[in-house]
Amino acid sequence: MRYLGGLQGGSGFSAAGRVLKAIAVYGFFRGIAWSGFMYLYPLYVLSVGYHTADLGPIATYASLASAMILPVAGYFIDVGYAPHVAVASGLCVVGSLVLPVLAPTYLGLVAGYALSNVAFMLWSPSRASMVALLVKPDVLGRIFGVYTLLYNIARVATPYLLGFALSYFTYGQLMTYVGAVILAATVGFAVVVTPLVSAAGGAQGGAVGASTWSSCVGLGGLSKVKCLYFRTFALDRRLVPVAVFGILDRFGWGLWMPLLNAYLKEYAGFTDEFVGLYNSLMGAGMLVFSLPAGYLTDRVGALEMLVTNEFLGAAGTLMLALGSSTIALASAIPLGVSISLWITSYNTVTSMILGAGSVGRVRAGVDATRTLISIPAPLIGSALFSGLGTLAPFVTGAALMVLATAPLIATKKTKEVE
C-alpha cells in the first residue's frame, strides 16, 4: 500500500491534520443532510400524490446517473481533484433536497433521487482518496470509524427533530431548510480544504494516481471519455471478488431500502414521528458501533467485517418484515450496526486493494459495476411488493445479502491456503 501522508511533522502535519478535521466536520453536516433526505423524501413523495410502490421505479431510473458519472469522477479523484469532486458531491446533496420542492413532478422527483445517488457515489471515493493519501494503512478503519461516529451523531438526532418539526413546517419547507444548511457547509469545506490538499500531499498523490490512468491521460474529448469508461469496467482481477460482493449486496438492499419509510407509514402503521424514531434508532445503532467497527476492521480484518455486516443486515431485514411492530422497530439496531461495519470495512478494503493512488479507479470500477447491474433492483422490489406481497422484497433481499458473503469467504480461504 503506497501512502503519501504528511502526518509526520512540520507543515505537512498541519495541512494534513486540518484536512482530516475539515472532512470530519463536513461529514457531520452531511449526516444532517443525508438523514434529512432519507426521512423527508419518501414522505414528501406520498404527500404529492404518489405511493410506496412508486418509489422503486423512481430509485431505478435515478441509479443510472450515478453509474454513468463514476468513471469520470474516478479519473479526477486519482489525478488530484478529490476535494473538487467532494464539493461537487455537496452541491448534488443540495439539489437532491431542493429540486423536488421546486419541481414536484415525476421528473423532478426522479432528478432529486438521482442527485442523492450521485452525491453518495462522489463523496465516498473522494473522501477515501484524501484519507488514504494522508494516513497509514493500519489505521484506516479507525479513521473511517471516527468519521462514521460524527456522521451518525447527526443521523441519530436529525430524523427525530424533523419529525417534531413537522408539527410546524411542511415536508417541502424542511427539505429547503436542510438544503440551505448543507449548502453553507459545502462552501465552507471548499474554502478550507481545496487549497490545503496539495500542501498535504494531494499533488504528489495526483501524480501517482495518473499512472493508473496512463493510457487515458494524453487523450482528449470523446476519445478520453471512452478510454475512462473502458479502464473503469476492465476490472483488475483482484477487484472481482469485491465487485461480485458489491453487486449482490447492492441488489439485496436495493430491493427494499427505497420503500422503507413509506412502507413503515403506509403498511406498518407508523406515524411520522415513529418513522422518525425508526430512523433515529438506526442511526443510534450506527453511532454506538462506529468506533468499535473501525477498531475491528483494523484488528480483525476488513473482509471479515464485510461478511459480518451482511449477516447482520439480513437478520435486521427479516426482523423488519416478519416481526410485530415492536420487532420491526427493533430491527433498526442491527441494520444500523450493519451499516457501520459496511462503511469502515468497505472503505478500508477499497482504499488498500490497489494502493492509495488508485482509490478513484477502484471505487469507480467496483461502484459503477455494482450500481449498473443493480439498477433494476428497486423496480423489481416494487414489483415483488405489488405482485407477491409486502414481505417479498424484504425476504428476497435478505437472501441476497447472505449470498453476497460467498466471494469474500472464498477469497479469505484462498489467502489462508497461500
pLDDT at 178: 95
- Positive or negative torsion for Cα 314, 316, 317, 319: positive
- How does the average pLDDT of the chain come out, rounded? 82
Higher pLDDT: 285 or 268? It is: 285
pLDDT at 4: 40
Least confident of 224-228, 256-260, 304-308, 385-389: 224-228
pLDDT at 357: 64
Q: How far apart are CA 364 and CA 216, in angstroms?
A: 15
User: Is the pLDDT confidence value at 184 over 90?
Assistant: yes
Instruction: Tell me which residue has cell 462522489.
Output: 122
Question: Quick one: average pLDDT of 86-112?
Answer: 93
User: Is the pLDDT confidence value at 187 over 90?
Assistant: yes
Percent of the chain with pLDDT over 90: 28
pLDDT at 6: 41
Q: How far apart are CA 215 and CA 361, in angstroms?
A: 13
pLDDT at 86: 93
Question: Residue 274's CB: how many other CB atoms inside 10 A?
Answer: 16
User: Is the pLDDT confidence value at 336 over 70?
Assistant: yes
Q: How far apart are CA 147 and CA 165, in angstroms?
A: 27
State pTM to two decimals: 0.73
pLDDT at 213: 64
Higher pLDDT: 54 or 296? It is: 296
**Per-position DSSP letters for 95-120, written without gaps between them:** HHHHHHHH--SHHHHHHHHHHHHHHH
Integer angstrom CA distances of residue 299 from 14, 116, 345:
28, 33, 11
pLDDT at 217: 64
pLDDT in tens, 271-318: 877 887 887 888 788 888 888 888 888 888 888 999 999 999 999 999
Closest by CA position to 181, among listed 196, 199, 200, 161: 161
pLDDT in tens, 159-168: 878 888 988 9
pLDDT at 205: 52
Domains in the chain and their CATH numbers?
10-417 (1.20.1250.20)
Q: Who contacts 255 (Cβ-Cβ below 8 Å, separation ≥6)?
A: 377, 378, 380, 381, 384, 393, 394, 396, 397, 400
User: Is the pLDDT confidence value at 416 over 70?
Assistant: no
Higher pLDDT: 367 or 337? It is: 337
**Per-position DSSP letters for 22-82, written without gaps between them:** HHHHHHHHHHHHHHHHHHHHHHHHHHTT--GGGHHHHHHHHHHHHHHHHHHHHHHIIIIIH
Amino acid in position 220: G
Question: 101 pLDDT band (50/70/90 cuts)?
Answer: very high
pLDDT at 135: 75
Of 121-125, 188-192, 227-231, highest mean pLDDT: 188-192
